[in-house]
Amino acid sequence: MERIDVSILGRDYSLACPADEKEALLAAVRLVDQRMLGVKGSGKISSNERIAVMAAIQIASELLSMRAPDGPLGGVALGDFKRKIDSMNDLLDQVQPPVQAQR
């Protein structure tokens, strides 16, 4: 695990994550910070707790809107697709190693 220090809405946090997930975590921190700053900038909400809740609702709403609308995959989130595809690729690699590029 790697420790990283981040700042969200001017407040510092120390987080731990696997090294291979660091960039994704930093991107998530940037998104949360941007959303919270946007909510705060609207001037309608002043409490950090309420700002965090409103930002979380905005992000959750976007995530839910990214689900497949209808059909056999309706209600499945894009992240679920990626995990399933990655899992299938791993299984295929176990059965037959990837073909090396020919020169």
What is the spatial distance between Cα 31 and Cα 39, in angstroms, rounded to a whole number? Answer: 12
Residue 102 lies in a domain: no
Highest mean pLDDT among 3-7, 41-45, 77-81, 86-90: 3-7
Is residue 78 assigned to a domain? Answer: yes
Per-residue pLDDT tens digits for 16-55: 999 999 999 999 999 999 999 999 999 888 899 999 999 9
- Residue 28 lies inside a defined structural domain of this protein: yes
Distance between CA atoms of residues 6 and 66, nearest Å: 27
Domain, as residue range, for 42 = 2-95
Q: Which helix (H) or strand (E) holds 5?
A: strand 2-8
On whether residue 100 sits in a domain, the answer given is: no
DSSP letter for each residue of 9-61: TTEEEEEEE-GGGHHHHHHHHHHHHHHHHHHHHTSS---HHHHHHHHHHHHHH
Domain membership of residue 7 (yes or no) is yes
Position 16 scores a pLDDT of: 93
